[in-house]
Structure 1
């Protein structure tokens, strides 16, 4: 096995133990004060990062190791480890067992390895550039497209930002009419890992954070899936509108998005315009 991947797996499993130890904490509940919850979550994230950092640093002291929740500006360069100590925070707070931690390793300024770990289900997703993606040591592929029936699409929509709400509502209506099962799980990185292992058929993200996308991007590509924006281009980072899935599934979704005028989509994507009058939906 790849020696760098070995260290990443060792670090992420130990980080996962810290999460599970705090999962039933009585200090973190949905009904607690927001400041109290935020303080507790930050403490857990810091402990996870510190533990993982020490393990990685022992083997690779020359590499930069970064917590993505650090207030410092993240600059991407060669030989770098990015760590997300906890994605799916609200699920964790409300005791919903669907959250994860992840590691992204860059070498020579290129994404080289990505590891995503679900500590509750003990699911370990790994991807190495040019060597495919795996789940618990077994090779994974994205789901094939034969017809649109019995398909599951995962949605992500950041409610704090109402931009693109009209597009989100319209696409939701289309897919429900086609009897497609929709999921909004609250953990976008784990959704991307599920896509790479064929558990879901497509991922559709609105107002998506780039620091969430990068952890699942390698898994998607190495499993044979594609990732685009809502007009089939590669501007999904700037637009924050993401489609991911097998090529034929993306072709089907893109046909639906084209029901809206191309002018409207380009305006939404390129200018990041806001839909001010939501009542018209």
Structure 2
């Protein structure tokens, strides 16, 4: 059984309970069953958050509540960083922390598009040690433990090994909800100006990939898009929009599959920085540095 002892990782004097990959897989499957049974519900209760394109359902909340309860019962001192209950001031700390997106790809879920998943990362000292992404409609369970490889349904996976951007299929991720702030009367001018800068970078980056890569894709689920890089289905992924819960599990899975994940400026990725570049090889990743733009770079 694979284990991670968070107490050892943070240097505590007394050992704490061990987090196992099997435990994370088990709770991901439990959450996935809630997603699966509600997927075809045409009467889902759907609300919006920051914009008309930023959706949340009763099932997002139900899955997050279920996961937090299961984890708290097993590890009562651990912290959480979750999409539906965290605030803009919450951030990843050195403490053992569960980084959770209960339904990554909520819009896909609402519209019964199968690219939707549960994403769970376990981090200590701001380093993700275990990542699990479960897509129940597709029946795919992606798993990684730091230093021990990446797996899909129990079988080892590797990136495509692609090095040449002209032969690469690249996922261009972006947040429609962020761009929808432009022109909204109840959004302050500063936020609208920031959205316009993001829009410029998004259009630049998509245009660059269209003209310099084999093809582009966008599946609407950051965690799955990263897993597709890990599995060799995509060669690269770039986005200005992801948050910690979108990235945590998928980034580890890419790295453990032999891929490279960096910031747009070529530096190691920090999960709180809202720009990410993942690729099958470091050579391919660095071929985009200086070509992709982001506000502030």
Which band: TM-score by shorter chain?
Answer: 0.7 to 0.9
Name the structure with the higher helix share: 1
Q: Structure 1's 252 and 127: CA in aligned 2 closer, same or farther, altered over 3 A? A: same
Cα offset for 1:208?
A: 3.0
Counterpart Cα distance in 2 of 1:112 and 1:16: 21
User: Per-residue CA shift, 1:137-167, capped at 9, x if unaligned?
Assistant: 1222221125445521011112323323333
Equivalent in 27, 32, 37 of residue 21 of structure 1: 37
Q: Residue 155 of structure 1 aligns with which residue?
A: 172
Q: Secondary structure at the match of 2:296?
A: helix
Q: Secondary structure at the match of 1:131?
A: coil
User: Per-residue CA shift, 1:166-210, capped at 9, x if unaligned?
Assistant: 333233333323452111111111111111121110001023323
Is contact 2:236-2:278 (8 Å) kept?
Answer: yes
Q: Residue 275 of structure 1 aligns with which residue?
A: none
Count residues with an aligned counterpart.
258
Identify which range, 189-198 or 232-241, moves more after superposition: 232-241
Cα offset for 1:69?
A: 1.5
Counterpart Cα distance in 2 of 1:251 and 1:110: 22
Normalising by the residue count of structure 2, what TM-score does the alignment of the two structures yield? Answer: 0.76
Which aligned pairs between 1:116-131 and structure 2 lie closer than 5 A? 116-131=133-148
Which aligned pairs between 1:196-211 and structure 2 lie closer than 5 A? 196-211=230-245
- Structure 1: runs of 5 or more not aligned: 258-264, 271-281
Q: Structure 1's 168 and 41: CA in aligned 2 closer, same or farther, altered over 3 A? A: closer
Q: Residue 261 of structure 2 aligns with which residue?
A: 227
- Higher RCO, 1 or 2 (CA under 8 Å, sep at least 6)? 2
Equivalent in 81, 105, 112 of residue 122 of structure 2: 105
Equivalent in 241, 244, 250 of residue 285 of structure 2: 250
Cα offset for 1:88?
A: 0.5
Cα offset for 1:213?
A: 2.1
- Structure 2: runs of 5 or more not aligned: 4-19, 179-194
Counterpart Cα distance in 2 of 1:106 and 1:209: 15
Q: Secondary structure at the match of 1:254?
A: coil
Counterpart Cα distance in 2 of 1:129 and 1:225: 13
Is contact 1:241-1:269 (8 Å) kept?
Answer: no
Alpha-carbon RMSD across the aligned residues, in angstroms, is 2.9
Q: Residue 43 of structure 1 aligns with which residue?
A: 58
Cα offset for 1:91?
A: 0.8
Q: Secondary structure at the match of 2:26?
A: helix
Q: Residue 22 of structure 2 aligns with which residue?
A: 6
Is contact 2:163-2:284 (8 Å) kept?
Answer: no
Q: Secondary structure at the match of 1:164?
A: helix
Counterpart Cα distance in 1 of 2:226 and 2:164: 21
Q: Structure 1's 162 and 99: CA in aligned 2 closer, same or farther, altered over 3 A? A: farther
Is contact 2:97-2:123 (8 Å) kept?
Answer: yes
